[in-house]
Amino acid sequence: MDIYFSILSVIITYLNLAYGNLCDPSNGPEGTYDCVHIPEYDSYQWAVCLSSQTLRKHTSRSFGCKGSSYCWLSCTKSIYPTSLFGYVAKECRCDPIENEKRKRSLQGNIQNVKVKVPPECYIPSFTSNCDWYSHCLEAHSSCEQTEFHYAVSYGKAICSIFVDTFNSFSEEGKKWITSSQKCIANKLKSILMPNDKSDCRNLRERAYLAHTKCYLYLSRPRFCSLQHTDQMKIYWSIKQVYQNSFSEHFDDAMAKFRSCLRNDVYNEQKEYIFYVKKDIDATPKAIEKEFASSLADHFAFSSQGLDWDVDVQMSNRMRTKREIDFYSEKRYQPVGIFVSQQRVKLVERSRMNPVRNYLRKTYDNEYDKDFLVSFDDLIINSLTGDGLQVTDNSSPYQWPVWPVSCFIIRSAAKVAICFSFPGNCIISVLVQLFSKVLPDTPEEIDTKFILYTRNKTNISLSFSDVSTMSHFNPSKSTFIIVHGLLSSGDTDWVKNMTSSLLARKDSNVIVVDWRKGAKYLIRYNQAVANTEVVGFILKLMVKTLENHRGATETHIHIIGHSLGAHVAGFAGKYHTKARYQRITGLDPAGPFFENKTDIARLSKTDANLVDVIHTDVDGFGYLNPLGHLDFYPNGGEDQPGCDFLTGPACSHSRAQVFFTASIRSDRIFGARQCKLLAQCRTGENLNWNGQEDNKMGFHIDVTKKREVNTMYYLKTNIKDLGDVP
């Protein structure tokens, strides 16, 4: 081996004598390159001839030629400045014999052995001058006009962002910027060497690895250890340009950065979970990207000063939790999105008490606390606008096209359920209070509206088609009947009430049939969740009647039984511009709704007058007063004729009979006012002398309405409509 090496050295020496020294210690010339053996290293490597003046200028006098004006800068030293001796880096190795053949073929043309880029491109102590990417890397590779562009579109772009915002970072953040930029340049310098054969695709791939490694693992300090304000500025800056140059790696790369984000970073943003009604054939990643992009475009996040990203890790976590098994069963795909400002200006948490979770302002008040709610307002308010449009036979309206048919937005403060029709979102309270059950979509519930008049019956209405409403007379009163659990719009009690109303008064009677959403016996909670959606759809129906047929709220009386009473309540809540004239709750459902706040059930704020008939308070009904006027016939339980033979729902259903009976006769159901609920349960110590205090049912005395709940007790032996006098 020693003999072979000696012979090789003699040959190379001879060839050098014939060709000439490419880096003369006195004359250079600067910029020439050659495959040389530098004594400090174990093998041949590429080297660039630089002047001592250039070396000292660009390394703050840390490097220079010893005793000469020009010397070789080895490739290994250029890429790894601390490697002053030892092994030659693998990306720097060269074959001296092949190189000598190359030099002889150049026929003495010195320009052909000079590098394409300025000498300072190889200086190991890279400064914060972002022109390195364009003047050096792009000048060498010429990739910017190809589909695999990188040097200017990403390398220089992200470097410039960091340089421009350098002074806004903490001292540790500034060190990270300097360290990571030097690391990236050193990693990519080997591309400038003559032995490198990287094409544009390969260069971009190497650049991606260099950026990721230098940002996350090789910089000092590391990204994971930075304070949260630095992390957020870096994260959103990288995200802005990462997706343009490294699109195929974008999701994986951003997930790596998110794995490092400290918890207090998320506290300074808004994170949302969208439960998207997915196409059964679509992949989760496709749904996430398509939906998030559509949302961002639709609401013009960029013009609002907002940046967004899909939290893939959160989505993956949600998909593995037991609590979303039900969502999966109904083909809901969780999509996590977190949102922040494009130019993040956050402040450090107070170090006085690291346990407390609060923020302080800096001297220039750069922190905008209103931002913490700005996205809530932007997206929720935009989605829940009325925006209702209808069609006629000649010009069908095309619904807005979303990439999904349904989605649910959850933040810490609000939950919105959105569907693919105008005015398409509601702020959900039931999902928020009972998070493991999501409602069926409107398509699954398939709510139907059937209009009955004295002249025409069984007319199907559609809130999206005004031509179906020609038989609706806005000058007449409108009664809306809503059934409850395991019922339908053509059940006997609905038919009896409809015919009784039309016999009593020439009016519009609309029956709301949501049987597909109320069909759940074992999964009662599903029917509960659906009440909110049906109430919202009922609001859309009434809104169409108002806008296109001249209906007025003062002529509308909604009558709902059991869960239907709460449907009526939600319809009233979502009708925000004016209140309906009256809502009658027929033994409103108690299970789940008991002890919930007004926003999650029927309440007296849902109409100008809310009256309630309680008939099964110890069973399926609601115990406490809900409306302006609450009636407890026979104490609100154990109605006449109901026992174990008639079934557990007998008393609960008796409210339907009582109200229909009251329509037919104004001489029944006189009631006495109670001071306390306990008195209404027993009827004890009530004054039975003199005139009754009110009448339960259709012929109620509206003048007795008070701001506080007014309760009544009465006795009755009516078991069915045959008992009506």
Residues annotated as catalytic (active site), given as ranges: 562, 587, 652
In the DSSP assignment, the letter for residue 490 is T
Ordered strands of the 415-419 beta sheet: 306-310, 332-341, 270-277, 406-410, 415-419, 425-428
Residue of 394, 540, 387 whose CA lies nearest to 467: 394
By CB neighbour count within 10 A (0-12 exposed, 13-18 middle, 19+ buried), where does 10 fall?
Answer: exposed
By CB neighbour count within 10 A (0-12 exposed, 13-18 middle, 19+ buried), where does 67 fall?
Answer: exposed
By CB neighbour count within 10 A (0-12 exposed, 13-18 middle, 19+ buried), where does 613 fall?
Answer: buried
Q: How far apart are CA 69 and CA 426, in angstroms?
A: 77
* Cα-trace Rg, the chain: 39
Q: How far apart are CA 345 and CA 363, in angstroms?
A: 13
Query: Residue 693's CB: how many other CB atoms inside 10 A?
Result: 18
Tokens 């606008």 belong to residue: 385
Residue of 588, 637, 579 whose CA lies nearest to 612: 588
Residue 232, SS3 per DSSP: helix
Q: How far apart are CA 464 and CA 541, in angstroms?
A: 8
Ordered strands of the 580-586 beta sheet: 459-461, 448-452, 508-513, 478-482, 556-561, 580-586, 607-613, 629-633, 710-714, 670-674, 694-695
Query: Residue 459's CB: how many other CB atoms inside 10 A?
Result: 17
The DSSP H or E segment spanning 49 is strand 44-51
Name, in order, each residue with C-beta under 8 angstroms of 379's C-beta and a sequence gap of 6 or more.
272, 295, 299, 409, 416
Residue of 322, 238, 325, 254 whose CA lies nearest to 288: 254
SS (H, E, C) 420-440: CCCCCEEEECHHHHCCCCCCC
Q: Assign residue 665 a region: left if phi > 0, alpha if psi is -120 to 50, beta otherwise?
A: beta
Contact call for residues 89 and 75 (beta carbons, < 8 A): yes
Tokens 């003062």 belong to residue: 554
Contact call for residues 635 and 659 (beta carbons, < 8 A): no
Q: Which two three-digit tokens encode residue 30?
A: 């600067």
Name, in order, each residue with C-beta under 8 angstroms of 175's C-beta and a sequence gap of 6 or more.
220, 221
Name, in order, each residue with C-beta under 8 angstroms of 633's C-beta and a sequence gap of 6 or more.
613, 614, 615, 639, 654, 658, 669, 696, 714, 715, 716
φ, ψ of residue 490 in degrees (nearest 5): -115, 20
Q: DSSP letters along 644-685, please?
A: TTT-TTHHHHHHHHHHHHHHH-SSS-EEEEESSHHHHHH-TT
Name, in order, each residue with C-beta under 8 angstroms of 623's C-beta and a sequence gap of 6 or more.
590, 594, 614, 617, 636, 677
Q: How far apart are CA 296 and CA 306, in angstroms?
A: 9
Q: How far is residue 245 CA from its own chain's centroid?
A: 25
Q: How far apart are CA 50 and CA 71, in angstroms?
A: 6
Residue of 558, 555, 579, 580 whose CA lies nearest to 477: 555
Length of the chain: 725
Geometric angle at alpha carbon 624, from 622 and 627, rounded to 5°: 95
